[in-house]
Structure 1
Amino acid sequence: MSQHLRNRLGSIRQLRVFLSVYELGSVTLASQALNLTQPTVSIQLRQLTELIGMPLYHVVGKKLIFTQAADTLAKYANELLDTIDRLEIELADLSEIKAGTLKVAVVTSAKYFIPHLLGSFCRTYPRVDILLKVDNRGNILARYHQGLDDIYLFSHLEPQMEPYSIQFLPNRLYPVAPKDHPLAHQSHIEPEDLLKYPWLSREPGSGTRHAIDAHFKKLNLQFKPNLVIESNEAIKHCVIAGMGLTILSEYALEDQPGGDLVKLSIAGFPILTSWHIVQAPLKHQTPLSEAFIQHATEGTALGSIISTPN
């Protein structure tokens, strides 16, 4: 490959198209995300492959298997595009106008309030574009370790995250039952009583599950869910169907279907946790990411998403 690759690269667009295919693992999904036709995406990939001088992927069945060259290209393409984004942001900041693209990645439980937070931020900075990634904790952790985003939202921090984190939002976890459950109308319930019934829970590794396991350990009780589900929405519907009890964030409960779930009055509950904003340690922090953190921690922004517990 020529050492003058910078002089041969057709456009930044080729790299953006490649990264979309690389992250989504599909030409079809990338074309949909970029609002381009599949032939256009395929042409961009072919031109980039010819430019690099070695294959970027192989097709096995209907699946794309990326080569080591693609892994290396993705790493440096992300760095290059991040540099361009920082240039745009810092030039805009010189004129005291926050603009550019902010990459935000959040775990799925944050989906109940992140639209309100991003909405108020975009109203304050209308020239800002947001790239939002919502996924399970494992995938968001992987993005954090690769430094793919500017800002992350976690309820449970890994030890190495603490120097880069800011606590900004309370996150109370409530035990809940269907409205016709025997415990639903009792005013005083001991934690031991909960273990007489089946339980549904998020998967091990999720922030909610970590908080639940730690809380029951403090109570000297063993928490063993009968059914593990990776979706809060599916858990809520299973509880309504009478399949068991669960513990969910207050934000997930605000969006409950039909008011069919009841918070249980149990000694030692709710479980008190917090949401944290985490900055990517591998990325240079821009004025735009700092503006987001300031906005998120202000009282006006918090007021639109903080709920008053019943």
Structure 2
Amino acid sequence: MQLLRNRLSNFRSLRVYLTVYEQGAISSAAKTLNLTQPTISIQLKQFSNVVGAELYYVQGKKLVFTESGKLTAKYCRQIIQKIDDLEIEISNLAQLKSGTLKVAAVTSCEYFVPHLIGSFLEKFPMVDIDFKIDNRENIKERYNNGQDDLYLFSHIDNDMTGEVVPLFPNNLYAFASKTHPLALKEKVSLKSLVGFSWILRERGSGTRQAIEEHFSKSDVVIRPKLVMESNEAIKHCVMAGMGLSILSEYALTQESPENLTVLPVDTFPIKTYWNLVFPSSTKQSTLSQAFMAHLMEYKQVLKGGIQEQNTRFI
């Protein structure tokens, strides 16, 4: 593999000049660099013209460097060192030894993304993760501004033009407290849900959008009595008998509260997907590709865990 320093067209002149400066003679530099003396002389002259200052003069058979020449040698040394450092860091990044990955996710991901990131960092302990979790509106704004390397959404808008990778199902279920009248029924029709108190996520959230789209297909409208941004707060309100709600299976199977029950609604579950989204303005990095590969492995473990919990709860 050709070294980075050799692929930079103007970099060789810096190396030639610094070698001549350190060796103190063109003949010695020619042997070190395996170049002819005329070639060294030509490159020295061209380099001086590029810098725009007299870097040296010949006194007898000896090169004498000017103050400008000494200053140039100092910065040539620094530039060469920086290029060497860059080459090392790029190599480390390619091997996932270092780097920072910026991940942003909607709040519904809070049940599995921390575990996903934790297992990723176990594989690559030198990598840093900048993780942002927030409501959908704020994460969508970050997506529009291209602030992160990748995003996790449960609902994809038409204006999201980046690469979208469907990951795994995110089924939504209606649920109630076990003391609710509907909890005793073996079958519940969609239309029979009208008239009860509802506690839903905020308008604009992926869950809320999926719910509204599903009900609108059957010309059924439910109006929330309470609107909340927190899945956990919604679960506690339902447990307190304040109304019905609809949440992701991941939220419902977490800790499996004994005083909650999933309602056997005839058109449920509402089928949605978790999606990994890459912004259209950036190219996938080595880190983001590795994270996606890890997520694809992790989803099999997650799927198995959800299915096991579902047999006990849903």
Query: Given the two structures, how large is their TM-score scaled by the length of structure 2?
Result: 0.67
Give yes or no for contact 1:215–1:271 (8 Å, CA) kept in 2. yes
- Three-state SS of the structure 2 residue aligned to 1:117 is helix
**Which residue of 2 is the match for residue 190 of structure 1?**
189
**Which residue of 1 is the match for residue 112 of structure 2?**
113
State the distance in 2 between where 1:210 and 1:288 align. Answer: 32
- Three-state SS of the structure 1 residue aligned to 2:302 is coil
State the distance in 1 between where 2:107 and 2:87 align. Answer: 31
| 1:303 CA drift (Å) | 2.6
State the distance in 1 between where 2:89 and 2:169 align. Answer: 30
**Count of aligned pairs:** 222
State the distance in 1 between where 2:184 and 2:165 align. Answer: 38
**Which residue of 1 is the match for residue 28 of structure 2?**
none
Instruction: Read off the aligned partner of 1:274 and give its amino acid letter.
Output: Y
- Three-state SS of the structure 1 residue aligned to 2:184 is coil
CA shift digits 1:143-193 (9 cap, x unpaired) = 111111111100001213254110002101000000111111211111111
Shift >3 Å, 4+ stretches: 86-90
1:131-210 → structure 2 map (5 Å cutoff): 131-161=130-160, 163-210=162-209
| 1:97 CA drift (Å) | 3.7
Q: In 2 relative to 1, CA 284–162 (structure 1 residues): closer, same or farther, beyond 3 Å?
A: closer
| 1:257 CA drift (Å) | 6.8
Give yes or no for contact 2:199–2:225 (8 Å, CA) kept in 1. yes
**Which residue of 2 is the match for residue 59 of structure 1?**
none
**Which residue of 1 is the match for residue 71 of structure 2?**
none
Structure 1: gaps spanning 5 or more residues: 1-85
State the distance in 1 between where 2:215 and 2:186 align. Answer: 20
1:207-222 → structure 2 map (5 Å cutoff): 207-222=206-221
| 1:228 CA drift (Å) | 1.1
CA shift digits 1:235-265 (9 cap, x unpaired) = 1111111111000001111225742211011
Give yes or no for contact 2:96–2:286 (8 Å, CA) kept in 1. no
- Three-state SS of the structure 2 residue aligned to 1:197 is coil
Structure 2: gaps spanning 5 or more residues: 1-85
Instruction: Read off the aligned partner of 1:284 and give its amino acid letter.
Output: K
Q: In 2 relative to 1, CA 277–103 (structure 1 residues): closer, same or farther, beyond 3 Å?
A: same
State the distance in 1 between where 2:220 and 2:296 align. Answer: 36
State the distance in 1 between where 2:89 and 2:100 align. Answer: 8
**Which residue of 2 is the match for residue 13 of structure 1?**
none
State the distance in 1 between where 2:274 and 2:90 align. Answer: 28
Q: In 2 relative to 1, CA 162–188 (structure 1 residues): closer, same or farther, beyond 3 Å?
A: farther
State the distance in 2 between where 1:88 and 1:100 align. Answer: 12
Give yes or no for contact 2:96–2:287 (8 Å, CA) kept in 1. no
Give yes or no for contact 1:100–1:288 (8 Å, CA) kept in 2. yes
Instruction: Read off the aligned partner of 1:281 and give its amino acid letter.
Output: S
Instruction: Read off the aligned partner of 2:301 and give its amino acid letter.
Output: S
1:63-102 → structure 2 map (5 Å cutoff): 90-94=90-94, 96-102=95-101
| 1:226 CA drift (Å) | 1.6
State the distance in 1 between where 2:143 and 2:264 align. Answer: 37
State the distance in 2 between where 1:241 and 1:252 align. Answer: 17
* Superposition RMSD in Å: 1.9
Query: Given the two structures, how large is their TM-score scaled by the length of structure 1?
Result: 0.68
| 1:282 CA drift (Å) | 2.2
Instruction: Read off the aligned partner of 2:195 and give its amino acid letter.
Output: K
- Three-state SS of the structure 2 residue aligned to 1:265 is coil
**Which residue of 2 is the match for residue 302 of structure 1?**
299
**Which residue of 1 is the match for residue 268 of structure 2?**
269
- Three-state SS of the structure 1 residue aligned to 2:247 is strand
Q: Which has the larger radius of gyration?
A: 2
Q: Structure 1 vs Structure 2: percent identity of aligned residues?
A: 46
